[in-house]
């Protein structure tokens, strides 16, 4: 992909003189790493890519590697390999692949389903897609990837290297960082370092990191003696069908006696240039680019004689070349035994390729896709925990385990696939976005079938009163009391729990329809537990007695629409909305929020919330443009509305404020809306700090990027905090630039963002990824939705103009309070938003409850074939049925070291006691993050750093007595085996 991006970058960087590294007389050792970058999506669908070239890559490479022992290849995007293996490869090809893998000549890099994005992906989903890919590779070949190749994600998070270290990786490779920073690091030979990605874990999970130089992952394509595509020789991939004669367009000049010297000179000059940017005498020379090696006989048959020629003249050239896998390159670097600089937990976000090209637009591109992907992930988490519990408790139940695992795997793979760096980012073509959505929704329907078929539906028996039996399941390992909302078609309802006791509830006219009603009900659930509720609906209001329940019927008060042009005097008529945590004041002159007082400290914060729009330029002749990837602010944002209408529905369960924003005073249809729900505490059982907000945005006008702007009296000096993949918070200090300052101060917000001063903190947690910024003191701005069109030839050619006319409906929860109070809450609130209770039908099971600072990250039955003894695993026939008895458990400590006096402490717990609600634990094995390594036998490379001559080894704690201590920000993974009587 993206030659436009790298060409624009190269035009800005100086060309270093082609000289050898100073003080080094031995030849430069060049590691030529053959690879093909195959986007799992982007412009073409997965099936189109498989048909046009991807299947040919593995068929062709397998054949060519088998012909010469010195040849190598790294396989990166594993979804294509798995599809080839399952649907294309012959038995003979599979035997060849097994031999090549055994010999180390075909190497799997990263090993996940995709090369995931790093800015807008969630921790849960990054781990999932790696676990699925690693499980397949370990079961099929017994291999465990140990290196990354993250060459194309648009910026690099500090969480990704932590996860790779936890998975057992020895080194990490990235490429896309800010153009000016890369230039500086190149000149100073600082493109390699040891990264401590987590502030709390410190050196426990350090990992050596290599940043690719200015040429990135593609072989330089410019040849001074040819107008063709450089060192690829096989031409350009063709869609929809490859040519039958094997002759592709734009094939480079072949290597012959007449051309070999010119090729060698060009290649050697490039190698020497790269060598000046690194400390060792080893050069990584990636050979490949997007959609390469589908015709690999042409590539190898030209590179073979070229490399032979260079090696025959190595004294003259000062260079040797060899085919290599990535592990061979990193092994050479490791053996150099140098002391490396250490980088702390800063990330490389946002990412810019030049002064006007800030890649911060994709944080908000395709809001709908981002939302569905997170919903699918949440549904998968709930289904995994349910199936694991069902399988342990009812091993002989009526649900076919093979069928159930197929349904779960379909959703695992759909969620994994969309984490691709041109998937969840929203940077793909419309048909590819539709493909992701189709795969997600179809797999979600399958999991819904699994849930409904697993548990017998409850019958409705009373013909006089319409009854609905509702089962509410809590997918978290915490006790919760919360409010759920259901849409019903009757105006009156009474709710009862499974003991027949009336449940507090509230019913009111829906904001979405005149024919439906919102029913709010209070639910109390243990961890991983469900309860059954009976809802009695009727047309007529109940006349009294126990059958009436405790349902409050709420009615709204509509306030006159207020025009912005008439805001002459404001703040005269303030309307209070109170619960036990807050007093919200709404201004009746504007119909906007005026202030919030958090009552614990009796501290008032002035605050307004409304919508603003950035108007994007769509003409490349008129200046910088915005597109799927890039946000180029064409001036400051403007108010997105001319009038505001408000309705307030006071309630005993929740008070709802509905604000409608109109583009024009006379509009009948609003463009934007905010619905804020203020919960009542109900005796302290429901947390009242959570102000639940949902929005409606669109359809947008063309070339519009809309933001929710929350302006407050906090003195944050434009400093913002956003999360890295939902794992850790990063401080984002406002910076000024010569150009594009607005866009370059946007940051990814995956789960949350907040601003603070010495007294107060304002937190927003989100149900999907957005972009966030603090453009002014006290301001927290969240980009929610984008609709763009431009005439850039690249975008038109690939249909990447993001003409998204959908109506987006994201949700944010807002909290306001002291820094200490919000420190206790914001991580849990973000997880509770992600994993809200779901409605299912099940048999009642005991609760499973963790301490408040631990989160049940995973409880699932992977199905992949693992073994506690790796040597035994390699000797087994791995084609037997899936393993249904091995349960994967992951626990995560939510808090940073020193973040909160009590909750930041290490936690020791007995997992046998914790899991007794599921079954009797007999064996507990601690594993690496994706399960492929026994943690006691995992020995990662120890790299010397300036601070510590050797990085410390991972701490390993025995699990024989089932007692486990989890320290701040640790993620620990276990295989759990329950008593045989359970199976």
Residues noted as catalytic? 152
**Per DSSP, what are the bridge partners of residue 972?**
891
Report the DSSP pairing between strands 638-639 and 530-538. Answer: unpaired
- Tokens 């206790």 appear where? 824
Helix or strand holding residue 452 (H, E): helix 430-454
Residue 147 in contact with residue 173, Cβ under 8 Å?
yes
Q: Which of 573, 606, 604 lies closest to 591 in space, CA to CA?
A: 573
Residue 781 in contact with residue 633, Cβ under 8 Å?
no
Assigned token pair, 714: 């906090």
Q: Which of 600, 624, 604 lies closest to 614 in space, CA to CA?
A: 624
Assigned token pair, 254: 């072949």
Phi/psi for 641 (5° steps) reads -150, 160
Burial label for 111, CB within 10 Å (0-12, 13-18, 19+), is buried
Burial label for 336, CB within 10 Å (0-12, 13-18, 19+), is exposed
CA dist 444 and 371 (Å) reads 13
> Which residues, 6+ apart, have CB-to-CB distance to 331 below 8 Å?
none
CA dist 434 and 440 (Å) reads 10
Residue 118 in contact with residue 690, Cβ under 8 Å?
no
Helices (H), 142-158: none
Specify the DSSP class assigned to residue 936: G
Helices (H), 469-588: none
**Per DSSP, what are the bridge partners of residue 711?**
608, 779
CA dist 854 and 850 (Å) reads 6
Helices (H), 197-251: none
**Per DSSP, what are the bridge partners of residue 649?**
656
Whether cis (ω within 30° of 0) applies to the bond prior to 350 is yes
CA dist 789 and 618 (Å) reads 6
Specify the DSSP class assigned to residue 93: H
CA dist 873 and 59 (Å) reads 27
CA dist 178 and 182 (Å) reads 6
CA dist 906 and 964 (Å) reads 10
Assigned token pair, 475: 């997918």
- Tokens 């009797």 appear where? 920
């Amino acid at each position: 992909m993206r030659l436009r991006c790298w060409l624009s970058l190269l035009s800005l960087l100086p060309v270093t003189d082609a000289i050898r590294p100073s003080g080094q007389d031995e030849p430069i050792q060049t590691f030529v790493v053959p690879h093909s970058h195959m986007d799992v999506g982007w412009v073409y669908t997965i099936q189109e890519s498989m048909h046009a070239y991807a299947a040919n890559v593995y068929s062709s490479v397998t054949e060519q590697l088998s012909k010469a022992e010195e040849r190598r290849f790294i396989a990166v995007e594993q979804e294509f390999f798995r599809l080839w293996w399952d649907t294309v490869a012959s038995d003979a090809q599979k035997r060849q692949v097994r031999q090549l893998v055994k010999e180390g000549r075909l190497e799997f890099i990263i090993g996940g389903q995709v090369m995931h994005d790093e800015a807008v992906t969630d921790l849960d989903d990054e781990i999932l897609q790696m676990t699925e890919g690693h499980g397949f590779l370990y079961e099929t070949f017994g291999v465990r990837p140990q290196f990354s190749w993250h060459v194309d994600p648009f910026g690099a998070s500090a969480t990704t290297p932590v996860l790779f270290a936890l998975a057992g990786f020895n080194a990490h490779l990235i490429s896309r960082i800010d153009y000016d920073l890369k230039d500086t690091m190149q000149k100073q030979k600082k493109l390699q370092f040891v990264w401590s990605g987590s502030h709390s874990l410190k050196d426990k999970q350090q990992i050596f990191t290599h940043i690719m130089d200015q040429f990135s992952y593609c072989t330089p394509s410019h040849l001074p003696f040819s107008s063709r595509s450089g060192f690829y020789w096989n031409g350009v991939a063709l869609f929809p069908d490859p040519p039958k004669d094997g002759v592709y367009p734009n094939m480079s000049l072949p290597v012959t006696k007449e051309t070999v010297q010119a090729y060698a000179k060009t290649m050697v000059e490039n190698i020497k240039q790269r060598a000046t940017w690194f400390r060792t005498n080893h050069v990584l020379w990636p050979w490949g680019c997007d959609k390469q090696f589908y015709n690999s006989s042409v590539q190898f048959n030209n590179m073979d004689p070229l490399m032979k020629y260079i090696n025959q003249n190595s004294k003259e050239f000062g260079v040797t070349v060899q085919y290599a896998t990535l592990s061979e390159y990193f092994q050479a670097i490791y053996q150099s035994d140098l002391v490396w600089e250490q980088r702390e937990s800063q990330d490389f976000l946002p990412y810019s390729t030049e002064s006007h090209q800030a890649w911060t637009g994709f944080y908000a591109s395709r809001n709908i896709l981002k939302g569905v992907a997170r919903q699918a992930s949440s549904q998968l988490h709930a289904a995994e925990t349910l199936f694991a519990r069902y399988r342990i408790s009812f091993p002989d139940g009526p649900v076919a385990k093979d069928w159930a695992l197929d349904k779960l795997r379909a959703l695992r793979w759909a969620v994994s696939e969309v984490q691709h760096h041109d998937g969840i980012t929203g940077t793909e073509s419309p048909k590819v976005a539709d493909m992701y959505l189709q795969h997600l929704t179809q797999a979600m329907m399958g999991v819904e079938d699994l849930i409904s078929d697993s548990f017998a539906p409850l019958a409705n028996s009373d013909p006089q009163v319409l009854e609905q039996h509702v089962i509410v399941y809590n997918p978290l390992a915490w006790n919760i009391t919360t409010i759920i909302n259901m849409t019903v078609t009757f105006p009156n309802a009474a709710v009862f729990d499974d003991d027949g006791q009336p449940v507090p509830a509230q019913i009111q006219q829906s904001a979405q329809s005149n024919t439906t009603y919102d029913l709010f009900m209070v639910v109390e659930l243990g961890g991983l537990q469900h309860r059954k509720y009976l809802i009695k609906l009727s047309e007529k209001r109940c006349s009294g007695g126990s059958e009436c329940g405790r349902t409050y019927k709420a009615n709204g008060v509509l306030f006159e629409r207020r025009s912005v042009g008439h805001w002459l005097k404001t703040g005269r008529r303030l309307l209070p909305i109170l619960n036990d945590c807050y007093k919200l004041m709404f201004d009746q002159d504007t119909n906007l929020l005026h202030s919030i007082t958090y009552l614990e400290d009796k501290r008032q914060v002035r605050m307004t919330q409304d919508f603003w729009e950035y108007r994007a330029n769509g003409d490349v002749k008129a200046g910088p443009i915005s597109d799927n990837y890039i946000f180029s602010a064409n001036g400051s944002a403007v108010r997105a509305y001319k009038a505001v209408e408000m309705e307030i529905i006071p309630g005993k369960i929740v008070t709802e404020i509905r604000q409608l924003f109109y583009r024009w005073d006379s509009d009948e249809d609003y463009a934007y809306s905010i619905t804020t729900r203020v919960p009542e505490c109900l005796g302290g059982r429901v947390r009242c700090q959570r102000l639940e907000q949902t929005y409606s945005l669109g359809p947008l006008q063309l070339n519009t990027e809309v933001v929710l702007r929350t302006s407050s009296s906090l003195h944050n000096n434009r400093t913002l905090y956003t999360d890295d993949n939902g794992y850790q918070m990063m401080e984002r200090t406002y910076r000024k630039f010569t150009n594009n300052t607005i866009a370059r101060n946007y940051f990814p917000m995956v789960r949350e963002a907040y601003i603070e001063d010495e007294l107060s903190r304002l937190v927003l947690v989100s149900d999907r990824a957005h972009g966030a910024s603090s453009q002014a003191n006290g301001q927290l701005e969240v980009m929610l939705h984008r609709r763009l069109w431009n005439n850039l030839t690249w975008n038109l050619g690939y249909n990447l103009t993001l003409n998204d006319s959908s109506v987006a409906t994201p949700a944010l929860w807002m909290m306001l309070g002291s820094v200490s109070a919000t420190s206790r809450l914001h991580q849990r609130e973000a997880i509770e938003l992600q994993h809200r209770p779901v409605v299912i039908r099940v048999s009642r099971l005991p609760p499973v409850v963790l301490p408040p600072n631990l989160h049940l990250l995973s409880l699932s039955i992977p199905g992949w074939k693992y073994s506690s003894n790796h040597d035994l695993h390699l000797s087994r026939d791995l084609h037997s049925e899936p393993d249904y008895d091995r349960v994967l458990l992951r626990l995560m400590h939510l808090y940073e070291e020193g973040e909160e006096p009590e909750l930041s402490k290490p936690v020791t717990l007995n997992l046998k006691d914790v899991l007794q609600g599921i079954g009797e634990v007999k064996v507990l094995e601690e594993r690496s993050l994706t399960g492929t390594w026994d943690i006691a036998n995992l020995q990662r490379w120890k790299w010397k750093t300036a601070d510590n001559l050797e990085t410390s080894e991972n701490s390993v704690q025995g699990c024989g007595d089932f007692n486990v201590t989890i320290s701040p920000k640790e993620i620990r993974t276990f295989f759990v085996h329950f008593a045989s009587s359970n199976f």
